[in-house]
Amino acid sequence: MTISEERVREALKQVVDPELFVNIIDLGLVYVVDVQEVEDKSDVKIEMTMTSPACPAGPQLVSQSKAAVAAIEGVGNVDVKVVMVPPWTPDRMTEDARDQLGIF
């Protein structure tokens, strides 16, 4: 079964930043989703960032991201890498996230 990047991103919308109460996709924290077919499973590699290098919720967001993607039927290994380049900026947020946070 082929797993699409879109399906992975939809699953990652379940992961909500506990300080901002917005999901990590709408916040623009997920930079790369790479799906590789391996035998009868799909391995997923994710590169994501945090809103700040010292984000206290970082380990929680990584753990929840792995769990959300691993729950997709047909997914094998899930690797989540935290990157700080390029640095996150508020312009990466969706309009929905901006509305939720009152950023115009």
SS (H, E, C) 57-95: CHHHHHHHHHHHHHCCCCEEEEEEEECCCCCCCHHHCCH
Instruction: Give the per-residue pLDDT at 95.
Output: 94
pLDDT in tens, 16-73: 999 999 999 999 999 999 999 988 999 999 999 999 988 899 999 999 999 999 999 9
Q: Hey, what domains does the chain have and what are their CATH numbers? A: 5-87 (3.30.300.130)
pTM over 0.85: yes
Is residue 38 within 8 A of residue 44, CB to CB? The reply is no
Query: What's the rounded Cα separation, in Å, for the pair 18 and 38?
Result: 34
Q: What are phi and psi of 25, to 5 degrees?
A: -70, -50
